[in-house]
């Protein structure tokens, strides 16, 4: 293999695949990336056996070929180079890297040593949509997922596809987010609906590296493929059934509060400085439900409170929440005003927009003390 590539193109390729590089000492080959010429492109691939990322970058191909090299060594060199062009050539067990004023010989391995990258079993059925809209949907829910060895089925994002709609759902048992995309938002040719759980570490990569292009998503019985113009992410799916979460979403509300989102955000940020070990903040109705008091206190730090105007109907309330969960929920909305729905201090609260019903955020209260 012999190629000439711009430093920025190579750096972009390395940044795209970095999260799939493994530090598994039992399988040192997983610390390597595969560089291969393919279809007049330079293809860079990394895998940890659960997730594989492939990025195609532009460059001049002098001789076809392939080689695997340690990611950390190559990335460290490219990060610190001051030359625009990089020459890469495989010679025996080495990758020779040259610029105008620098040369290195990096210990390498043949492609045969590198794990085989799996292919999706279904290459026909998929849904396709603008990556910006898809990434926005992912970012609205992904913070609610959490790696769990006890309950692996919640260690990812549920894709619930029902032909005319696609729901993305994530929960860590203390909060839940659901974003619905409708068939006007995407094109799909799946013959029937399905449910699949995409691992958290996989879905986090999609908005990070798949940007500014259309995205196609393929599923088979145990894998998912996210595909852009020059990038592919393929991953195993999580086995098991996702929890039946819909009964958690409140259908009736004892109290409904319409609140300026920025004011509520500022209040939570400010009073959280006095919160305790469980990140508790209290919200409480005052003055005939015209104002909501947001407060926190500890014996060591003191206390503080912030008043936020509200438009409320229903019962008075006094509820304690984890402020980090409240903040995550509020930041995921774009609306100027949000609706906070409550059912006392023990049952799930809901945050949603009055104008866009495609997204809901659920948070469980902490025990009121």
pLDDT at 52 over 90: yes
Cα separation, 91 vs 89, whole angstroms: 6
| pLDDT tens track for 298-318 | 988 999 999 999 999 999 999
- Does any domain span residue 288? yes
CB burial string 2-41: b at 16+ within 10 A, e below: bbebbbebbbbbbebbbbbbbeeeeeeebbbbbbbbeeee
Question: Are 161 and 148 within 8 A, CB to CB?
Answer: no
pLDDT tens, position by position, 199-252: 999 999 999 999 878 999 999 999 999 999 899 999 999 999 999 999 999 999
Establish if 184 belongs to a structural domain.
Answer: yes
User: What percentage of the chain reaches a pLDDT higher than 90?
Assistant: 91
Q: Would you state the structure tokens that stand for residue 153, as one six-digit string?
A: 């089925």
Q: Does 120 map to a domain? A: no
Mean pLDDT, the chain, as a whole number? 95
Residue 205's nearest CA partner among 311, 87, 50 is: 50
pLDDT at 283 over 90: yes
pLDDT of residue 299: 87
> From the CB of residue 149, how many other CB atoms can be counted at a distance below 10 Å?
6
Residue 313 lies in a domain: yes
Q: Determine, yes or no, domain membership for 67.
A: yes
Question: What's the structural domain count of the chain?
Answer: 3
Q: 192: domain range? A: 126-236
Q: Do 147 and 211 reside in the same domain of the chain?
A: yes
- What pLDDT was estimated at residue 110? 87
Q: Are residues 213 and 318 in the same domain?
A: no
Same domain for 257 and 217? no
User: 47 to each of 40, 125, 142, how far by Cα in Å?
Assistant: 22, 24, 22
Residue 92 sits in the same domain as residue 20: yes
The predicted-structure confidence for 129-148, as pLDDT tens digits, reads as follows 999 999 999 999 999 999 99
Query: Are residues 98 and 150 both part of a single domain?
Result: no
CB 121 within 8 A of CB 139: no
262 and 188 in a common domain:
no
Judgement on whether residues 229 and 254 belong to the same structural domain of the protein: no
Is the same domain home to 19 and 64? yes
> Of 206, 236, 266, which residue sits at a domain end?
236
Confidence of residue 368 (pLDDT cuts 50, 70, 90): low
Closest CA to 359 of 127, 138, 126: 138
Domain boundary among 236, 262, 278: 236
Higher pLDDT, 189 or 212: 189
Asked if residue 118 belongs to a domain, the reply is no
Q: Are 295 and 282 in contact (CB under 8 A)?
A: yes
* Closest alpha carbon to 346 in 323, 327, 318: 318
* Separation between Cα atoms, residue 72 and residue 21, nearest integer Å: 9
Same domain (yes/no): 229, 141: yes
205 sits in which H/E element: helix 205-209
Residue 118 sits at φ, ψ, to 5 deg, of: -65, 155
Do the domain assignments include residue 368?
A: no
**Residue 88 and residue 177 share a domain:** no
Q: The domain that contains 172 carries what CATH number?
A: 3.10.150.10
Nearest Cα to 331, choosing from 95, 140, 93?
140
Task: With respect to residue 145, please indicate whether it lies within any of the assigned structural domains.
Answer: yes
**How far apart are the C-alpha atoms of 229 and 210, rounded to whole Å?**
9
What percent of the chain stands above pLDDT 70?
99
**pTM, 2 dp:** 0.93
Nearest by Cα to 271 from 212, 342, 327, 215:
327
Last residue of a domain, one of 113, 140, 164: 113
Instruction: Identify whether residues 254 and 357 lie together within a single domain.
Output: yes
* DSSP per-residue letters across 11-68: HHHHHHHGGG----TTSGGGGEEEEEEETTEEEEEEE-SSEEEEEEE--EEEE--EEE
Q: Are residues 44 and 140 in the same domain?
A: no
């Amino acid at each position: 293999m012999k190629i000439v590539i711009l430093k920025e193109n190579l750096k972009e390729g390395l940044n795209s695949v970095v999260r799939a590089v493994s530090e598994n000492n039992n399988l040192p080959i997983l610390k390597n990336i595969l560089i291969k010429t393919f279809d007049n492109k330079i293809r860079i691939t990394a895998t940890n056996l659960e997730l594989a990322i492939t990025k195609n970058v532009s460059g001049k191909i002098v001789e076809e070929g392939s080689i695997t090299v340690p990611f950390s060594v190559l990335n460290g060199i490219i990060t610190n180079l001051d030359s625009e062009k990089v020459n890469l050539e495989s010679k025996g067990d080495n990758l020779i890297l040259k610029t105008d004023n620098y040369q290195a010989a990096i210990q390498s391995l043949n492609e045969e040593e590198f794990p085989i990258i799996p292919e999706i079993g279904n290459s026909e059925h998929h849904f396709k949509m603008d990556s910006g809209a898809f990434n926005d949907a992912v970012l609205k829910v992904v913070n609610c997922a959490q790696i769990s060895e006890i309950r692996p089925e919640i260690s990812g994002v549920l894709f619930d596809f029902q032909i005319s709609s696609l729901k993305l759902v994530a929960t860590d048992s203390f909060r839940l987010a659901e974003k619905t995309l409708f068939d006007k938002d995407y094109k799909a040719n799946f013959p029937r609906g399905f449910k699949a759980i995409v691992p958290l570490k996989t879905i986090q990569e999609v908005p990070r590296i798949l940007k500014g292009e259309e995205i196609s998503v393929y599923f088979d019985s145990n894998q998912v493929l996210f595909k852009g113009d020059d990038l592919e992410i393929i991953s195993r799916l999580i086995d098991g059934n996702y929890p039946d979460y819909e009964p958690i979403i409140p259908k009736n509300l004892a109290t409904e509060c319409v609140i300026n989102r920025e004011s509520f955000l500022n209040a939570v940020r400010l009073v959280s400085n006095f919160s305790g070990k469980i990140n508790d903040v209290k919200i409480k109705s005052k003055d005939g439900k015209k104002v909501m008091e947001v407060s926190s206190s500890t014996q060591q730090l003191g206390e503080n409170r912030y008043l936020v105007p509200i438009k409320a109907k229903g019962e008075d309330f006094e509820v304690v929440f984890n402020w980090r969960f409240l903040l995550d929920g509020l930041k995921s909305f774009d609306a100027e005003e949000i609706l906070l729905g409550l059912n006392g201090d023990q049952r799930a609260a809901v945050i949603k927009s009055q104008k866009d019903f495609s997204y809901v955020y659920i948070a469980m209260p902490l025990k009121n003390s």
